[in-house]
Chain A
């Protein structure tokens, strides 16, 4: 379980990293390595060059900016889990990272790495998709910002170009009277998800649904939004009936696999169950 041979660079600057990536067609970025090294040890991925970005300064931070919260790509899951700002303002992300692996993996794994690895069964991608995060990438052509809906392109594939490094993830603040939740179904709590669902909602007067975003993962090549369910609830009062109706619609667009962990049918059913649960939890958090 030793990876194939590769060359290793640990650049001290982003520009150096970008240069190395553009010069080496088979290069991969290494951050925490908790996803990439797993693949390399099993030889499911064998890049011949690794560009370790962990020595580049100023890529790990959580900053409250004007209209969004900015998280540096190298911020570890553990740091995010213990951030009071994220727990309060983006509970969905706090919950998502808290369900990753275990303490050791959360100590070393990074949010940028999880986003760029784009495993549909992972926890952060669903949460990031639901909060409509914006992904900042730097490359030879400069900096660009990719919205969540365009970021996750396919299983293990994102919009980040080969010569680009993801540097920051921006979470637009939720309006007042919002709540969010992330729920995951897996064999054991820290296993990869069989399905996961994240919801963000905003309540108007009379307990009316002002805005609603529902996303699910591990049921398609990327995290997906349950747009039918969202449309169904918008403008309606939140109650058991409307929530159940939305949950029924949540599976539209889902394309879960059948595999050793679970059948397609079970996954579809669990999306509905988790949608109901996460809507109720999110609602209970609205202040």
Chain B
């Protein structure tokens, strides 16, 4: 499989969940386990360009897949516009749900660069947050949309 741009090869028992493989075998602990029942979305990653809950996927199902985790968003020290926006708009408190939210936000904005508030709220339905009440999360995503569009305009 490909993880955050790098080729990787490993072995896993069939019943190993992808989230555990990512965290334990790949040492990418940015992806979190919140509920383990596929509801909270803290484990959300991108597999083959689509967000999935990695606790609801077996590691073996990711054979040959192209995976992006939260660790793959920043370029070295340069934060992704979505990360910057969450930081600047106080879109996180404890930060536990944040990696999953960032991935869902990325998927949403890739598909819909200028979402309405309704579309944003619908897009993050699969990510539960106990701290923020989502208000600043929505603001962060709106801000991220704006800055990503500006970057496109500048050809950056």
Contact = CB atoms under 8 A, between A and B. Distances in A.
Q: Which of A8, A40, A52 has the most CB of B within 10 A?
A: A8
A50 B57 CA distance: 13
A107 to B, nearest CB: 4
Contacts of A59: none
Given A5-B15, A37-B58, A108 B125 contact: no
Interface in B68-124: 104, 107-108, 122-123
A286 to B, nearest CB: 27
Interface size class of B (residues with CB under 8 A): 20 to 34
Contacts of B127: 102
Given A6-B14, A104-B52, A190-B125, A1 B36 contact: yes
Contacts of B122: 103
Contacts of B30: none
A38 B37 contact: yes
A7 B60 CA distance: 11
Interface centre among A4, A102, A190 (most CB of B within 10 A): A102
B53 A105 contact: yes
Nearest to A103: B126
Contacts of A1: 36-37
B120 to A, nearest CB: 11
A104 B37 contact: no
A2 interface: yes
Given A102-B125, A103-B125, A108 B57 contact: yes
B44 interface: yes
Interface of B: 13-15, 17, 36-38, 41, 44, 50-53, 55-58, 60-61, 63, 104, 107-108, 122-123, 125-127
23 contacts: A4-B15, A5-B15, A8-B60, A30-B58, A33-B56, A33-B57, A34-B38, A37-B57, A38-B37, A38-B38, A41-B37, A42-B37, A54-B61, A102-B125, A102-B126, A102-B127, A103-B104, A103-B123, A103-B126, A104-B44, A105-B38, A189-B125, A190-B125
Given A34-B56, A52-B61, A104-B52, 16 more contacts: A1-B36, A5-B13, A5-B15, A8-B60, A10-B63, A37-B38, A37-B57, A38-B37, A41-B55, A101-B126, A103-B104, A103-B107, A103-B122, A104-B51, A104-B56, A104-B104
